[in-house]
Amino acid sequence: MEQTLPSAIRTEGERRLLDSFAAIPSTERVRLAKRTSNLFRQRQKTSTPGLDTSGLSGVRVVDAGARTADVDGMCTYENLVAATLPHGLAPLVVPQLRTITLGGAVTGLGIESSSFRNGLPHESVIEMDILTGNGEIVTATRDNEHADLFHGFPNSYGSLGYATRLRIELEPVKRYVALRHVRFDGVDALCAAIDAVTTQREHDGEPVDYIDGVVFTRDEAYLTLGRQVDEPPAGGPRSPSDYTGQQIFYRSIQHDGPAPKRDLLTTHDYLWRWDTDWFWCSRAFGAQNPRVRRLWPRRWRRSSVYWKLVAVDHRIGYSDRVEARKGNPPRERVVQDVELPLDRTAEFVEWFLDDVPIEPIWLCPLRLRGETRWGLYPLEPDRMYVNVGFWSTVPGNQHGNEPGATNRAIERKVGQLDGHKSLYSDSFYSREDFDALYGGDEYAPLKAAHDPNGRFPDLYDKAVRNA
């Protein structure tokens, strides 16, 4: 059947997308056809072909004068950064992993060390074209006729539609990022320093453009403070470090004594400093063993390869069989990011260190960039939060025999402390609790307006029921 293409259709990739949407029977749920993912929740298997997004993975235009870029929704940040850095520009927030897509970061949220000043990726979006459940592509802005979809899209995880094009703001960046790794002997002191640094945007008289932290143990924690520079500053390294080879970034943070440890990275390598070893998760595959690392091809030291190895393990059940031979139940996967108000973060981290045997822990301060309160992830404007990330497994009976017992305990604790959990991984909320946390009253009319026939899975079904 011939389709009438809305005015928003500008590329052959969008035509293929619409054709693939029309080819899916109306009785079947619509999904993306993707070879890679950064999600860590299981999905129900289906034989229905997914949406063809193969023509929606590029950067259309970088306008250096306006400091904007028009980008396909399936464009990875790796390709986006490669297009903007030659202009001395970068997205306002660049999530840590190369294969995260711009559309994915906006509909699923993303965060990085610039988030204390630039908020979340969706806050730098000027406009976006979105394929809705009505089978059309609409352009949504903050104040046009689709403003409700613009404001409801963040944290909707494809349940309201998929972005085919986004126009985003860019910011100037310099050649290098000069780093200071500052050690703290307790979580309370570290959180007090976060408060001071993010308020003043400086530490010991030096500006701070980026901030994140790592908690190795209760008595060993660090803030990494980054400053954009065009030339290596005095008192630090004269040439940039390289953590894509034998050296490992997170291990470089550690040091003894009160004086900060200084380092220097190119801006490109700073943006991807965590990807080479998937933060620290590459150790599970032996990739941090010096003997193995020398043989592990450099092009395979990246998060997308480790993710595929995890997927293979889940498919064949190798780790579970190893535990069974030891007489143990399968280990529970605890791969989560949670946002806590800064004034409750130390309490959560202390509880976590007592109750969940996972170390290190990543910390990343966040404040919404503007005054807008985004309905499906209702953080409060003008309030500082800290993203706490932890990614590993724990013994299957760590918090009881109920499936997902440790994840459930974390959900309860986060809720008690007025926090939220990102939805890219396993969730166990009741429908009532989920709606209260993730804007259920606002979500229902959005779903009815933009996907009245339920072509996309409901957000609760996707996040909790693995639809």
- CA dist 61 and 52 (Å) reads 22
Asked which of 173, 208, 227 is the last residue of a domain, the reply is: 173
What CATH code is carried by the domain that includes residue 65? 3.30.465.10
Residue 266: domain span? 176-273
Type of residue numbered 458? D
pLDDT band at 44 (very low <50, low <70, confident <90, very high): low
Asked which of 173, 195, 218 is the last residue of a domain, the reply is: 173
C-beta of residue 421 within 8 angstroms of C-beta of residue 414:
yes
Same domain, 189 and 149: no
3-state secondary structure of 304: helix
Residue position matching structure tokens 């054709």: 19
For residue 38, is it within any domain?
yes
What are the tens digits of pLDDT across the range 111-162? 999 999 999 999 999 999 999 999 999 999 999 999 999 999 999 999 999 9
C-beta of residue 54 within 8 angstroms of C-beta of residue 13:
yes
Lowest mean pLDDT across 41-45, 279-283, 327-331: 41-45
Type of residue numbered 273? R
Is residue 3's pLDDT more than 80? Answer: no
In the beta sheet, which residues pair with residue 223? Answer: 182, 213
In the beta sheet, which residues pair with residue 217? Answer: 220
Same domain, 34 and 162: yes
pLDDT band at 6 (very low <50, low <70, confident <90, very high): very low
C-beta of residue 81 within 8 angstroms of C-beta of residue 90:
yes
Q: What is the mean pLDDT of the chain?
A: 93
C-beta of residue 22 within 8 angstroms of C-beta of residue 3:
yes
Tally of structural domains, the chain: 3
3-state secondary structure of 434: helix
pLDDT band at 265 (very low <50, low <70, confident <90, very high): very high
Angle of CA points 60, 171, 167, to nearest 5°: 35
- The token pair that represents 100 in the structure block: 């995260």
What count of other Cβ atoms lies within 10 Å of the Cβ of residue 318?
A: 10
For residue 299, is it within any domain?
no
Same domain, 351 and 420: yes
For residue 264, is it within any domain?
yes
Q: How confident is the model at residue 108, as a pLDDT?
A: 94
User: What percent of the chain stands above pLDDT 70?
Assistant: 95
Cis amide prior to 360 (ω within 30 degrees): yes
Angle of CA points 328, 333, 334, to nearest 5°: 125
Q: Which alpha helices (DSSP H) does 74-186 contain, by range?
A: 77-84, 102-108, 115-118, 147-152
Same domain, 160 and 55: yes
C-beta of residue 358 within 8 angstroms of C-beta of residue 280:
no
- The token pair that represents 28 in the structure block: 């079947």
Q: How confident is the model at residue 9, as a pLDDT?
A: 53
Same domain, 19 and 133: yes
In the beta sheet, which residues pair with residue 391? Answer: 335
Asked which of 173, 188, 215 is the last residue of a domain, the reply is: 173
In degrees and rounded to multiples of 5, residue 431 shows phi and psi of -60, -40
Q: Which alpha helices (DSSP H) does 155-248 contain, by range?
A: 187-200
In sequence order, what DSSP letters do the residues of 343-378 get, joined into one string? HHHHHHHHHHHHH-----EEEEEE--SSS---TTS-
What are the tens digits of pLDDT across the range 29-41? 888 876 666 666 6
Long-range interactions of 328-332: CB distance < 8 A, separation 24+: 328/395, 328/396, 329/395, 329/396, 329/397, 329/401, 330/396, 331/393, 331/394, 331/395, 331/396, 332/393, 332/394, 332/395, 332/396, 332/398, 332/404, 332/405, 332/406, 332/407
For residue 7, is it within any domain?
no
C-beta of residue 159 within 8 angstroms of C-beta of residue 458:
yes
Same domain, 58 and 100: yes
C-beta of residue 106 within 8 angstroms of C-beta of residue 71:
no
Q: How confident is the model at residue 2, as a pLDDT?
A: 34
What are the tens digits of pLDDT across the range 398-455? 888 899 999 999 999 999 999 999 999 999 999 999 999 999 999 999 999 999 999 9
Same domain, 129 and 191: no
Same domain, 324 and 230: no
Is residue 5's pLDDT more than 60? Answer: no
Same domain, 206 and 242: yes
Same domain, 169 and 210: no
For residue 364, is it within any domain?
yes
- CA dist 266 and 289 (Å) reads 26
3-state secondary structure of 91: strand
Q: What is the DSSP letter of 60?
A: E
For residue 137, is it within any domain?
yes
pLDDT band at 208 (very low <50, low <70, confident <90, very high): very high
Q: What is the DSSP letter of 429?
A: -
For residue 1, is it within any domain?
no
Torsion of Cα atoms, 404 then 408 then 410 then 416, to 10°: 180
- CA dist 71 and 59 (Å) reads 4
Same domain, 56 and 161: yes
What CATH code is carried by the domain that includes residue 377? 3.30.70
In 3-state terms the chain splits into helix, strand, coil percentages (rounded to 5) of 35, 25, 45
C-beta of residue 108 within 8 angstroms of C-beta of residue 160:
no
- CA dist 142 and 261 (Å) reads 43
Q: How confident is the model at residue 34, as a pLDDT?
A: 66
Tell me which of 379 and 6 has the higher pLDDT.
Answer: 379
For residue 296, is it within any domain?
no
Exposure of 401 in the CB half-sphere (CA atoms within 13 A): 2
Same domain, 159 and 197: no
